[in-house]
Amino acid sequence: MLSGGAGVPAVRASEPERQEDAMPGKVLFILTSHGELGNTGRKTGFYLSELTHPLAVVREAGYDFDLASPKGGEPPMDGVKREDPVNAAFLDDPAMMARVRETIPLDKVDPKDYVAVHFVGGHGTMWDFPGNPEVARIAAGIYEAGGVVAAVCHGPSALVDVKLSDGSYLVAGKEVAAFTNEEEEAVGLTQVVPFLLESKLAERGAIITKAPKFQAKVAVSGRLVTGQNPASAKGVGEAMVKLLGAGVAAGS
């Protein structure tokens, strides 16, 4: 800190304040680019509250953010419920909507730029997150650099094929919460989705933890944070921020 002694210009006294006010890091939110709900003829996409709720928590904690998607540009949006005040505030913010329209293509993302990644849910993710080499590259890159990997609802579909440098699945041996088989049945899409997310994660060695249908459940397993459904979205954001505040992204 400056002593304020003689010969030090007064204007420089603001420099430490600027350093203290600097954002603590940047979080990447990844949204699906897939808008077709299988062969139903219905539309899908990313589920809005699974972006807006954790994003609000992350921004309140002082973190910068980027939005990305497999194809870049404007991703399809689902679950647009304006009665949710967090959704309404987001939808009514021109700057936020501009960010949605201009998501970064995943092949342009450098994992080193981020302290955490959050895979936003929505049924669309089930088609373009699994088996996507860019999704795997980003998730493994951030995780192995000591960062936080988070996902909610169908967002954990991003993790089913992610392997670490030792060849193990990222989710293996970790507690994971995701949209359950019972929830998929309840919404009538068991025969529509490419696979049942809960079952696939279990096949990869995840330890599934869950609440009753559509009730909030967040699992924290080391630097992996997952949530079961839309009701879990804010809790996922809170858990991410708690881990980042504890310094895990610095390798602790």
Which residues are the active-site residues?
A: 153-154, 184
Asked if residue 56 lies in contact with residue 65, where contact means CB atoms within 8 angstroms, the answer is no
Nearest-angstrom CA–CA distance, 229 and 154: 8
Asked if residue 157 lies in contact with residue 50, where contact means CB atoms within 8 angstroms, the answer is no
Asked if residue 81 lies in contact with residue 49, where contact means CB atoms within 8 angstroms, the answer is yes
Q: How far is CA 107 from CA 70, 138, 164, 221, 245, in A?
A: 8, 9, 19, 28, 29
How many Å is the Cα radius of gyration of the chain?
19
